[in-house]
Structure formats: C-alpha cells, structure tokens
A = this chain, B = another copy of it.
C-alpha cells in the first residue's frame, strides 16, 4: 500500500496511482484528524471522494504517529492526550474516538488503536503495554458500528518472542477481520524483525489477511511474504523517490550520481512505467539536480510501480508454486548471496 499521509500519495495524482497499479492506499488518521479534520472530510463525502480515489483505503489508528510525538503526549488507560505538531493545540484520542474518526473518513479497513512501544522498551513495559493494547482492541471492536469498514487487530510484543505469542493469542481471541503485526521496523536488526514475524504468523488464521505495518525494503517484502505476510505499507518508495533514490531489480540507483549524467537508458531496462518508457536517467538526474517538481513525480511513479510489480510478481510466483525460485532469482539479480 502506497502511503497517502495527508489525503494524497505524495507527488501522485489518483490517475497516476491507477496507472502504476495501486489497488489500495493507506491514509493516516492522525494527520487527517488534525488537518483538514475528519469532520470536514466527512462533510465532503468521505476520504475517497475528497481525494478522488475510488479504490480501497486502509487507515491506521493514529496511535503510531501520536506515540512518535514523545514529550508531546501522555498515555493513560483511557487513551492518549497529545499536542498537535502543527499548532501545539491539545487533543485526546481514545480507542473509541480513533474508530469514530476512521468511520468518519469512510475507511475500508480500520486499524485498532494500539500502543507501539519504542525499540528500547524493556520487558515489563512491553508486557504492560500489550495488555493495554489488548484491552483497547476490545474497546475498538465494541465501539465499531455494524455498517462501517473492516477492522484489523494489531499484534504487539516488542522484541520478545513470548510476548509476541501471547499478544497474538489475545488479539486473535477477540476476533477481527484481519490481523496486523505492529511495532516492527523501529530500529531492530533484520534477523530480529524476521524472527518476530516468524513467531506471529504461524498463530495467525490462514483465512484472514496478515498485514506487517510500516515495512519495508523490497528484500523485506520477499522475506516476510516467505514468512506468511500478505500486506505491507511503507513510505520508502515515495520518500526515497523524492530523495532521488530509485528501486530496480538489480538494486538501488541514486539518480544524482555523476555516472548517470549522460546515461540515455531508462532507470530500468524493460520497466513498463511511464517514467521508464519516456525518460532517460540523464533527464531524471537533470530534474533532480535542478530541484524540479517533475523529479519527484517521475521518481515516485517509478518506485511505486516497482513495489507494486514486485508484489504482483510474488503473487504470481506463489500461484505457480515457484516462490522459492522467485526468491532465488530476486537475490541473484541484485548480485546478493541467497540463503
């Protein structure tokens, strides 16, 4: 899922998104709640109509962004009190208001309001936190209206395998339309992240979507699909695009590099995105160096197309029962060793 934090996937029109094959995008509840406000969006007919996007939208709960505010927020059993990063005004989000805001936005897939503890959190903190997350998950489910979108539960537990396990059991016990693994990609090593995924996925129902939140690199997608994950969201394709970093099957391209100054080839040979069909690396480098808006547009088109094609190819490989070969080839193309 490309990330559309403020009611737009940065630098793309909805037409661009359809063209690169996006089937669903993510909206950030925290940002939309603060600006332009969920009530305004509801008045305007909901987020889909407001932003001109008629395919599904998943909204996060606002929790992750609120907890990222550090000194600006205070957590209680009821919910979280915090100050806006825009104007310093005070706000409270509880499990009930999070669901209500997501309902106002017209979300197709809503997420439970959870606490995402920092990577540095110790065992006791994480244990207490996930117990509260479980209580909050129950409150989210209870407060949800019958006719609103799907609701996913979130498994927390930090970097502690047994806590991940008990969180998974608790959340699955409540019963949701899908399950997410939260609190990863927060600073831990890749092996530890994969280990935490491996603990959770075997416990998750086969017939419900499994969503790994905020992850990740192309390698992460391949590794975590291999461990049983279905859905991802990440700002990496869009943010890196704006910083001139392009994804290809043979690795990353930093387009500002002098070596591309007179490179008349596309970012990736054979890529069918608008950018690769029409423009050279030399042109993209020029746009980046000249700080042109079109640089962000064309780079984002390519990167989002790359990510969606990757997932489509993974899906195809699974359907053809050839995921193992796919994974091998994926690493070979980037000249990396395959485990």
Interface positions of A (Cβ within 8 A of B):
6-8, 10-15, 35-36, 40, 43-45, 50-52, 261-262, 264, 274, 278-280, 282-283, 285-287, 289-290, 292-294, 296-298
**In the complex, what residue of chain B is closest to A50 when comparing beta carbons?**
B283
* Cβ contacts under 8 Å, A13 to chain B: 274, 294, 297-298
Q: Given known contacts A8-B292, A40-B262, A297-B297, what 18 new A-B pairs fall within 8 Å (CB)?
A: A6-B292, A7-B283, A7-B290, A8-B287, A10-B294, A13-B297, A35-B290, A36-B285, A36-B290, A40-B261, A43-B262, A43-B264, A44-B282, A44-B283, A50-B286, A52-B279, A52-B283, A293-B296
Q: A40-B261, A40-B282 are known contacts. Are A289 and B35 too (CB-CB below 8 A)? A: yes
* Cβ contacts under 8 Å, A36 to chain B: 261, 282, 285-286, 289-290
Q: A50-B280, A278-B52, A289-B35 are known contacts. Are A294 and B8 too (CB-CB below 8 A)? A: yes
**In the complex, what residue of chain B is closest to A280 when comparing beta carbons?**
B44
Q: A35-B289, A44-B262, A283-B51 are known contacts. Are A12 and B294 too (CB-CB below 8 A)? A: yes
* Cβ contacts under 8 Å, A15 to chain B: 274
Q: How far is the CA of A329 from the CA of B51 in the complex (A)?
A: 34
Count copies of this chain in the complex.
2
Q: How far is the CA of A15 from the CA of B273 in the complex (A)?
A: 13
* Cβ contacts under 8 Å, A292 to chain B: 6, 8, 10
Q: Is the CB of A44 within 8 A of B294?
A: no
Contact residue among B11, B279, B290 (Cβ-Cβ distance under 8 Å from A293): B11
Q: How far is the CA of A5 from the CA of B44 in the complex (A)?
A: 37
Closest CB of chain B to A33's CB: distance in Å?
Answer: 13
Interface centre among A11, A36, A261 (most CB of B within 10 A): A36
Q: Is the CB of A293 within 8 A of B294?
A: no
Interface centre among A261, A262, A298 (most CB of B within 10 A): A262
